Copies of this chain bind each other. A is one copy, B any other.
Amino acid sequence: MATLNDIGLAAGINILTAIGFLLAFAILRLQPFNDRVYFPKWYLKGIRTNPSSSGIVSKFVNLDVRSYLKFLGWMPAALKMPEPELIEHAGLDSAVYLRIYLLGLKIFVPIAFFAFAILVPVNWTSNYLKDSGGKVEFSDIDRISISNVRPGSYRFWAHLSMSYAFTFWTFYVLYKEYGRVATMRLHFLATEKRRPDQFTVLVRNIPPDVDETVSQLVEHFFLVNHPDHYLTHQTVYNANKLSGLVKDKSSKGNWLVYYQGKYERNPSTRPTHKTGFLGLWGKKVDSIEFYTSEIEKISKKEIEEREKVMKDPKSIVPASFVSFKTRWAAAVCAQTQQTRNPTLWLTEWAPEPRDIYWNNLAIPHISLTFRRLVVSVSFFFLTFFFMMPIAVVQSLANIEGIIRAAPFLKPIIEVPFIKSLIQGVLPGIALKIFLILLPTILMFMSKFEGLTSISSLERRSASKYYVFILVNVFLGSIITGTAFQQLDKFIHQSASEIPITIGNSIPMKATFFITYIMVDGWAGIAGEILRLKPLIIFHIKNFFLVKTEKDREQAMDPGSIGFNTSEPQLQLYFLLGLVYAVITPFLLPFIIVFFAFAYVVYRHQIINVYNQEYESGAAFWPAVHRRIITALIISQILLMGLMTSKKAAQSTPLLLFLPVLTFYFNKLCNGRFQSAFIKNPLQEAMMKDTLERAREPNLDLKSYLSKAYIHPVFQDSSINSEEDDDMYSNSIYGEKEYEKILVPTKRQSRKNTPVPSKYDGSN
């Protein structure tokens, strides 16, 4: 087992790595030519434009020495923006996402304090490891962990009571936070500007009718069943093929620009390329001519397809966006069942237009149960058997395999250095590639399940990713062997022994997880702020493709938080913290450092970099809450197992009570708050309606809504995109409401002049 020195060394290395990343970030972000990589959010908001310095050099490199001195200057800057302004700047989703890190601090700082004040002395003075002589190897970390307590000792009452105390403290913080987020969401929804989704309901599974088109059917149905409230509706076209063509055209366009640029720089030779795979083989063609003609072809096809989609009744999907005269009526329609058959005329509150996942709107309801079955079975196999295909690939990708496939490589491979490189690296690469692809695979699974909004897709993927991490990272690290071997072992073990087996090996794995936190948590987060991949891609694009300012705008890749991958990874820290709080308190400070550091880094990123793709109004919170509850229950069961193996079995009934309590606490919380994330209360809707009627009695809602829900590929051709942008601008607060939240003096400057980027830390 690792000693304190080992941990210290690992900490040193990781801290140095992190500092290295931070230094690199400090230097790179100050260079004007990186400005669009590190501050894209401000460009998107139109507040920041290109560096205005006149000198050629100073346009690319920052020569102001003073600015390098405060290399951590961005940190206080990131913390400066108050939460209401952050919501206004980056949306509620982002602001609430940051609260998860704060929640980590709120839970673990007091827990760490009490663990060190009470449990560490209890463990330290137990001297069990010392007394048992040289038989067991142990380090100082073990001396302050539960391992140092003599089996059957009365000292376990301290751990037991602390376990209760920590559970109740977590309850308190979780309950408070759930309530706070629910209030924030309701306030956000209540004060946001008029948006199309407030009036609109997504209707799915409209039954086919021989006499009427889908559009007529929808109109008649809602005129009959919501006679005083129905306003208008928009049919949904199956434009999946069309949007494929548009995408293809844009990619070919990029290549055309690239070759044109090449030709301009070097007019002597016309650029050519081969048409085969990756340009490696095939016919050699003149690139500019080739792409020009290709684009023309696609354009023709696109026009044909566009007409076909608009005219062919088969391309109309049995789904529709139905809008009502009032928010009240939309809330009513979304929450009620329309017909006898609950699988027809399904209504749900429409996602905002940016959030819609158009491809899934056409899936018939009857296949959804089947799709869910398929996905859950394949997810089960993915989680427990994912090592199998990888092992096959690994066994193929060894030296013999390569030699058999490509005998001519034999002399090279058998050079000892290359041989050891292949043997050492190749097996790992297969696993690494799989892990990189995993979020994409999970997202594909979620898409196959038929969810209709991007936000719900991300939430579903996050759930799957969490289960995968739980099984393969957490349990997989504790019990060696593949997940399938574990599963097999568990099935053949008695139900009461599983927690004992795991609980037993938990204390031994503490140092492993401490190292994991430092590598993945500390250095990983520092790497996040450096944005190495977007940095490289931006400069490549900038060099080859960018001609106009608009191109440069497009080359920017602000990215987004990526809830589906970042949140489950983050949840692992909650799990580790809760599991080790009683067992090895030494781990807690590492977790606290992670939460604090990650909070600052992500706050900076959200303010300066990420661009939110949609606004779900923090709809993910119930999932976050549920996963922390899961972690709590796991920690309680494992502690029970550990206690049993420590011959403190008389505590089992008392510990058994904790998971039951936690389960009911969760029910209580959901009963109290969950509906705020699912339903739209009628009172709120009515209030907004009444207010609006008083303010704008002559509002032409019908024309406002007429083109709101239109497939993105039709958007350019049919409505003014400027108007559209304005509709979903980030200024989601109505002006009146905004005043209540924001300090008036700040608002003045924000409105009248472009904001001096006081939050980006560049001053």
**A interface with B by C-beta (< 8 Å):** 186, 224-226, 228, 328, 331-332, 335-343, 369, 372-373, 377, 490-497, 660, 664, 667-668, 671-676, 679-684, 686
Sampled A-B contacts (12; CB under 8 Å): A225-B328, A335-B336, A338-B681, A339-B681, A339-B684, A340-B684, A342-B671, A342-B672, A342-B676, A491-B494, A492-B496, A494-B497
A683 CA to B493 CA, complexed, in Å: 54
A332 CA to B372 CA, complexed, in Å: 30
A683 CA to B683 CA, complexed, in Å: 24
Q: Known: A369-B664, A676-B342. Is A682-B337 also a contact (CB below 8 A)?
A: yes
A224 CA to B685 CA, complexed, in Å: 11
A216 CA to B324 CA, complexed, in Å: 31
Contact present for A340 and B683 (CB under 8 Å) = yes
Contact present for A369 and B494 (CB under 8 Å) = no
Q: How many copies does the complex hold?
A: 2
Min Cβ gap A190→B in Å is: 9
Contact present for B336 and A682 (CB under 8 Å) = yes
State which of B337, B340, B369, B681 has its C-beta within 8 Å of the C-beta of A340.
Answer: B681
A442 CA to B7 CA, complexed, in Å: 58
A490 CA to B495 CA, complexed, in Å: 8
A683: chain B residues within 8 A (beta carbon): 224-225, 338-340
A684: chain B residues within 8 A (beta carbon): 339-340
Min Cβ gap A751→B in Å is: 31
A369 CA to B339 CA, complexed, in Å: 32
Min Cβ gap A602→B in Å is: 29
Min Cβ gap A708→B in Å is: 24
A331: chain B residues within 8 A (beta carbon): 336
Instruction: Name A661's closest neighbour in chain B (CB-CB).
Output: B373
Q: Known: A369-B671, A664-B373, A672-B342. Is A679-B337 also a contact (CB below 8 A)?
A: yes
A493: chain B residues within 8 A (beta carbon): 494-495
Instruction: Name A671's closest neighbour in chain B (CB-CB).
Output: B369
Min Cβ gap A187→B in Å is: 10
Min Cβ gap A738→B in Å is: 21
A496: chain B residues within 8 A (beta carbon): 491-492
Min Cβ gap A381→B in Å is: 12
Min Cβ gap A207→B in Å is: 12
State which of B336, B494, B668, B681 has its C-beta within 8 Å of the C-beta of A332.
Answer: B336
Nearest first, the 10 A-B pairs at minimum CB distance are A342-B675, A337-B679, A494-B494, A335-B336, A491-B496, A339-B683, A369-B668, A373-B664, A337-B681, A332-B332
Q: Known: A224-B686, A682-B225, A686-B224. Is A340-B676 also a contact (CB below 8 A)?
A: yes
A493 CA to B493 CA, complexed, in Å: 7
State which of B228, B369, B492, B675 has its C-beta within 8 Å of the C-beta of A337.
Answer: B675
Min Cβ gap A720→B in Å is: 36
A338: chain B residues within 8 A (beta carbon): 681-683
A332: chain B residues within 8 A (beta carbon): 332, 336
Min Cβ gap A65→B in Å is: 55
A667: chain B residues within 8 A (beta carbon): 369, 372
Instruction: Name A668's closest neighbour in chain B (CB-CB).
Output: B369
Min Cβ gap A591→B in Å is: 31
Instruction: Name A679's closest neighbour in chain B (CB-CB).
Output: B337
Min Cβ gap A348→B in Å is: 13
Min Cβ gap A725→B in Å is: 31
A340: chain B residues within 8 A (beta carbon): 186, 676, 681, 683-684
A377 CA to B226 CA, complexed, in Å: 46
Sample of 19 more A-B contacts, CB < 8 Å, known A339-B684, A369-B671: A186-B340, A224-B686, A225-B328, A225-B682, A225-B686, A332-B332, A337-B675, A338-B681, A339-B681, A339-B682, A339-B683, A342-B671, A342-B676, A343-B671, A343-B672, A369-B664, A492-B494, A494-B494, A494-B497
Min Cβ gap A329→B in Å is: 9
A495: chain B residues within 8 A (beta carbon): 490-491, 493-495
Min Cβ gap A489→B in Å is: 10
A341 CA to B337 CA, complexed, in Å: 22
A668 CA to B342 CA, complexed, in Å: 12
A336: chain B residues within 8 A (beta carbon): 331-332, 335-336, 679, 681-682
Instruction: Name A342's closest neighbour in chain B (CB-CB).
Output: B675
A583 CA to B332 CA, complexed, in Å: 52
Min Cβ gap A340→B in Å is: 5
Instruction: Name A680's closest neighbour in chain B (CB-CB).
Output: B337
A686: chain B residues within 8 A (beta carbon): 224-225
